[in-house]
């Protein structure tokens, strides 16, 4: 099959031109974590204070409820707090479980154990309810933990979890529940924390969020066609953050000089294609129906994966090719993926694994397009550089650059505050700027003999044993980094203070 074919509906007529010209990127869109929580600062601050308050009775296990109608931004709000570095550092163990309308307790407990990464635990999926309950209780006992139960619908399930699974060691552990049912909070922990009840965004907040989808939406003197489109989106979205982002994303696949022409077509399409007060399903369906046939099939293929699951792009590309949805030549899968990302269709992507894909084309605005990305795998791609916008990936935890031709990292990588694991092959990172203190793994860092980087490595202040994989042998040592010198000999060099790095492999030039 050739590259995704072009349709002729009013909504895609103009964007089809852009789809065939991936070398013309649209203006960068600001879609960082904060995009999804515009107007929710007070709620986020209150949630943080409830999570870290251990005084008096708040030392007990407490359940915090976030309540609101569907597609109002509950999950996005909680995720923005859950992924903060200070929250991750405050709790010993963290896990996020999507519950849904018809959950099975055994599946939820198995999911918890997998996320908590218990050493030596095997055959989790084959254990019965009693064994799983005992194991989860044992794993959580004595630890300050944070568990998120997303989209809880069944109060009886919560009772079972509180009684049989969640241990209370009076050390400030917390459970966060997101729910559409306003009756649930009053039944599970009504005495301490009032539920955080989210309402639709007001006009000002909605405009601010829409402005993050495309710079044309906050132009000083916009044309009449764009004003009509803006009003149509605000009217149809009803203050729902995901609806605003999806509808605003319809304009994202074009450059600013063509916005006026496309805005008129989009306004007509929204008028005829969406009812008043549309559901999120209606909005998603419009966005998918509007796609050219080839792109539509690729987008619909994503529905085969469980909701909220991580989808490795390398696997997705292979599946698309196996189904003959994209061309096997000329980077057909990558082009299709890039277009869907710019449309906002994959703005929730959290795993991008391109291992083995020859020199994939990463857009300069990568950090704006994929704001929720947690894993970026570029191993064996032979890439030569990273986009500077990678620093905008505020949720990025793992960056794998092994066996690429990248020899220097942009300074912006230091702004990725949640980065934990950095894998490289003789990459320079010399700078007077501070390293991210949350990094746990550095592999393949190349520094000069008198580099300030050696001093930087001594600034990690949380004590943790440092292990090294040297010549195939694993060791457990503390307060030492392992350097590979120019003549390939290995020797331990003590670092002042404590070091939290799990692995360091440095080459001294």
Asked if residues 397 and 374 have their Cβ atoms less than 8 Å apart, the reply is yes
**In the chain, pLDDT over 90 holds for what percent of residues?**
17
Q: Which residue has the higher pLDDT, 147 or 450?
A: 147
Asked if residues 216 and 256 have their Cβ atoms less than 8 Å apart, the reply is yes
Asked if residues 195 and 32 have their Cβ atoms less than 8 Å apart, the reply is no
Distance, CA of 431 to CA of 391 (rounded, Å): 15
From 181-190, 377-386, 455-464, the region with the lowest mean pLDDT: 455-464
Distance, CA of 302 to CA of 472 (rounded, Å): 40
Strand partners of residue 398: 375, 421
Distance, CA of 191 to CA of 450 (rounded, Å): 59
CA 258 to chain centre: 31
Distance, CA of 103 to CA of 110 (rounded, Å): 12
Check residue 508 and give its pLDDT.
46
Tokens for 310? 């991580």
Rg (CA), the chain: 24
Check residue 94 and give its pLDDT.
93
Strand partners of residue 481: 493
Q: What is the pLDDT of residues 321-350, one digit of tens each?
A: 877 888 766 678 888 887 777 666 575 567
Distance, CA of 316 to CA of 313 (rounded, Å): 5
Distance, CA of 429 to CA of 409 (rounded, Å): 6
Check residue 458 and give its pLDDT.
61
Asked if residues 63 and 175 have their Cβ atoms less than 8 Å apart, the reply is yes
Asked if residues 245 and 344 have their Cβ atoms less than 8 Å apart, the reply is yes
Check residue 347 and give its pLDDT.
57
From 29-43, 155-169, 311-325, the region with the lowest mean pLDDT: 29-43
What is each CA distance from 299 to 283, 337, 344, 470, 478, in whole angstroms?
14, 9, 11, 44, 48
Q: What is the pLDDT of residues 218-274, one digit of tens each?
A: 778 888 888 888 999 999 999 999 889 888 877 765 555 667 777 777 888 788 888
pLDDT tops 50 at residue 387: yes
DSSP secondary structure letters along 19-58: HT-TTSPPPP---SGGGGGTT-HHHHHHHHHHHH--SGGG
Check residue 309 and give its pLDDT.
63
Domains and CATH numbers, the chain: 40-197 (3.40.50.300), 207-289 (no CATH)
φ/ψ of 487, rounded to 5, equals: -95, 15
Q: What is the pLDDT of residues 478-509, one digit of tens each?
A: 333 444 333 333 333 333 333 333 344 555 44
Check residue 162 and give its pLDDT.
83
Q: Which of 146, 116, 139, 129 is nearest to 52 (CA)?
A: 146
Q: Which residue has the higher pLDDT, 8 or 437?
A: 437
Check residue 344 and give its pLDDT.
61
What is each CA distance from 330 to 198, 270, 359, 469, 506, in whole angstroms?
46, 34, 12, 39, 37
Check residue 401 and give its pLDDT.
92
Q: What is the pLDDT of residues 446-485, one digit of tens each?
A: 766 666 766 666 655 433 333 333 233 333 333 334 443 3
Kindly report the average pLDDT of the chain as a whole number.
Answer: 74
- Output b/e per residue, 37-54; b: 16+ Cβ within 10 A: bbbbeebbebbeebbeee
Per DSSP, helices labelled H in 97-252 are 105-116, 129-140, 155-164, 185-188, 203-211, 224-237, 241-248
Q: What is the 3-state secondary structure (H, E, C) of 248-271?
A: HHHHCCCCHHHHHHHHHHHHHHHH
Q: What is the pLDDT of residues 98-112, one digit of tens each?
A: 898 888 888 899 889
Q: 434-438 — which CB contacts under 8 Å span 24+ positions?
A: 434/459, 435/459, 437/461, 438/85, 438/88, 438/89
In the predicted model, what is the mean pLDDT of residues 12-22? 30
Strand partners of residue 64: 176
In the predicted model, what is the mean pLDDT of residues 399-418? 86
The length of the chain is: 509
Distance, CA of 390 to CA of 99 (rounded, Å): 32
- Confidence class for position 160, pLDDT limits 50, 70, 90: confident
pLDDT tops 80 at residue 168: yes
Q: Which of 484, 501, 489 is nearest to 426 (CA)?
A: 484
Check residue 189 and give its pLDDT.
73
């Amino acid at each position: 099959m050739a590259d995704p074919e072009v349709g002729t509906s009013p909504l895609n007529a103009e964007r089809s031109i852009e789809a065939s010209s991936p070398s013309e990127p649209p203006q960068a869109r600001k879609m960082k974590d904060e995009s999804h929580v515009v107007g929710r600062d007070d709620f986020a601050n209150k949630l943080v204070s409830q999570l870290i308050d251990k005084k008096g009775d708040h030392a007990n296990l407490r359940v915090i409820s976030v309540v609101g109608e569907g597609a109002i931004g509950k999950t996005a709000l909680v995720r923005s707090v859950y992924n903060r570095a200070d929250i991750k550092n405050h709790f010993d163990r963290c896990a996020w479980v999507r519950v849904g309308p018809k959950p099975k307790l055994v599946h939820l407990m198995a999911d918890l154990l997998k996320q908590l990464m218990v050493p030596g635990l095997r055959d989790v999926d084959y254990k019965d309810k009693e064994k799983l309950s005992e194991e989860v209780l044992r794993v959580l006992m004595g630890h300050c933990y944070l568990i998120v139960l997303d989209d809880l619908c069944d109060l009886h399930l919560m009772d079972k979890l509180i009684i049989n699974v969640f241990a209370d060691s009076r050390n400030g552990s917390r459970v966060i529940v997101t729910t559409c049912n306003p009756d649930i909070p009053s039944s599970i922990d009504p005495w301490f924390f009032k539920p955080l009840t989210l309402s639709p965004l007001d006009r000002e907040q909605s405009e601010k969020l829409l402005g993050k989808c495309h710079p044309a939406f906050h132009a000083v003197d916009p044309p009449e066609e764009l004003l009509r489109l803006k009003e149509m989106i605000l009217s149809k979205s009803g203050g729902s953050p995901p609806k605003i982002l999806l509808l605003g994303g319809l304009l994202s696949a074009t450059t600013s000089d063509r916005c006026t022409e496309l805005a008129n077509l989009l306004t007509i399409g929204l008028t005829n294609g969406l009812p008043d007060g549309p559901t999120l399903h209606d909005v998603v369906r419009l966005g998918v129906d509007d796609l050219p046939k080839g792109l539509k099939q690729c987008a619909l293929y994503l529905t085969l994966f469980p909701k909220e699951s991580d989808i490795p792009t390398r696997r997705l590309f292979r599946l698309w090719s196996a189904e003959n949805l994209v061309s096997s030549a000329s980077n057909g899968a990558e082009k299709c993926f890039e277009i869907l990302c710019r449309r906002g269709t994959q703005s929730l992507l959290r795993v991008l694994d391109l291992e083995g894909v020859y020199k994939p084309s990463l857009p300069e605005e990568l950090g704006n397009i994929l704001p929720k990305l947690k894993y970026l795998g570029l191993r064996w791609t032979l890439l030569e550089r990273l986009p500077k916008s990678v620093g905008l990936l505020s949720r990025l935890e793992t960056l794998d650059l092994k066996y690429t031709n990248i020899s220097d990292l942009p300074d912006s990588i230091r702004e990725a505050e949640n980065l934990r694991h950095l894998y490289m092959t003789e990459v320079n990172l010399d700078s007077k700027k501070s390293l991210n203190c949350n990094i746990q793994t550095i592999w393949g860092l190349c520094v000069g003999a008198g580099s300030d980087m050696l001093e930087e490595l001594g600034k990690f202040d949380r004590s943790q044993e440092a292990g090294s994989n040297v010549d195939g042998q694993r060791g457990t040592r503390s307060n030492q980094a392992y350097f590979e010198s120019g003549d390939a000999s290995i020797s331990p060099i003590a670092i002042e203070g404590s070091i939290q790095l799990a692995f360091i492999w440095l080459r001294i030039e």
